[in-house]
Chains A and B, each alone.
Chain A
């Protein structure tokens, strides 16, 4: 049986929703109730589905857990999957990103964390090594903290070569072309209006980046004001915000197979973090940002909650499913690339992370904590 799994990480636990038609969803009881779930990675490589979860318990700290049976049972690496060495004199704050690499790099999973750091696992997420190239970067002391904390929130390995892009708040986009050994800022063209020099080499507050599926040199970026595209691997960026109701927002998603298609979920402004006119809508481009189509069929007429940077995702089905959740605890699913949405869940805690995948089997009702 082919099932779509929708993993919903919230401020107070993880919910797993499943559907065989992407219209009717079955929602689990909460897993890891009361833990924040800011990061989820669904790894469908190697013939199994592993749900990796970056948890944050305000009392007991951050940790990575995973389930290979769709949430029936959870495992936690005893020593902690991600932890700094004693000599680093710092402690892991929060796991912001768990990103399985491409299918031809089985076992490789990347993590982005707070404090700003990138980590790489080669054993499917059971143990991660700190990327020293970025950790020892001379810019590190100048990177700042956004409201949510100072974190590498996006780690994006290229499927075709040793390029890795990282996005951090605040710091901007950094790129490695040697698999993570060395890193350079790549923010030319992206404004940092909140700094004395609005066009610095680094320091931008990028909220999310996504890679085009057909052209790995093409990326999309949703910034703290500003929506951008690069066609040269981030050497230069240009605005693609024309046609959007606002250039603020946290989310950007790319189509898993079709080049030129991406989604954003605009918010009115930095100072007014609600959907423009309180009308929640997803916007899709099919021409790499030249034009945008507003998509709100099935979404509420009035919505005052924001959608956070990882609270949105796509699946790999045909047509592609688009999913997102709000800070008001509503989760929406579209089985037709955003043309129409149905509500999967409502009144959950603030949604922090949403990930979807086509899997085999059905999700467990509830797992052990």
Chain B
């Protein structure tokens, strides 16, 4: 079993005990949404920061799986393989 490494953006690190990355055990490929479910388990505030109550990824939050923007692949259904690196990052927005 090779864990997935989820990189956490600076602004969300207080919600994961100030860690920059969280490792999530994964035995077989799973969609990003399932990975987020695991990440957010017991962290409801973190869950709300990343996805709204319909389950959609917030408009100005981006997720990359091994460098690929999931919005350019299959959204939150994009598969994540064991050992992958998943990056959560806020997009360039605002003024």
Q: Which residues of A contact B (CB under 8 A)?
A: 34, 58-61, 63, 76, 78-80, 83-86, 89-92
Contacts and interface: CB of A to CB of B under 8 A. Distances in A.
Interface size class of B (residues with CB under 8 A): 10 to 19
Interface of B: 11-12, 44-45, 48-50, 52-56, 58, 60-61, 90-91, 93-94
B11 A60 contact: yes
Please give me the 6 A-B residue pairs with the lowest Cβ-Cβ distance, nearest first.
Answer: A91-B52, A60-B49, A59-B90, A83-B53, A78-B44, A59-B60
B61 A91 contact: no
Given A90-B54, A91-B56, A61 B49 contact: yes
Contacts of B94: 34, 58-59
Given A59-B90, A83-B48, 8 more contacts: A34-B94, A59-B11, A59-B91, A60-B11, A60-B61, A91-B54, A91-B56, A92-B53
18 contacts: A34-B94, A59-B11, A59-B90, A60-B12, A60-B48, A60-B49, A60-B58, A61-B48, A61-B49, A63-B48, A76-B45, A79-B48, A84-B53, A86-B55, A90-B54, A91-B52, A91-B54, A92-B52
Contacts of A79: 44, 48
A80 B46 CA distance: 11
A86 B93 contact: no
Given A86-B53, A90-B54, A92-B52, A58 B93 contact: yes
Contact of A59 (B44, B54, B56, B58): B58
Nearest to B93: A58
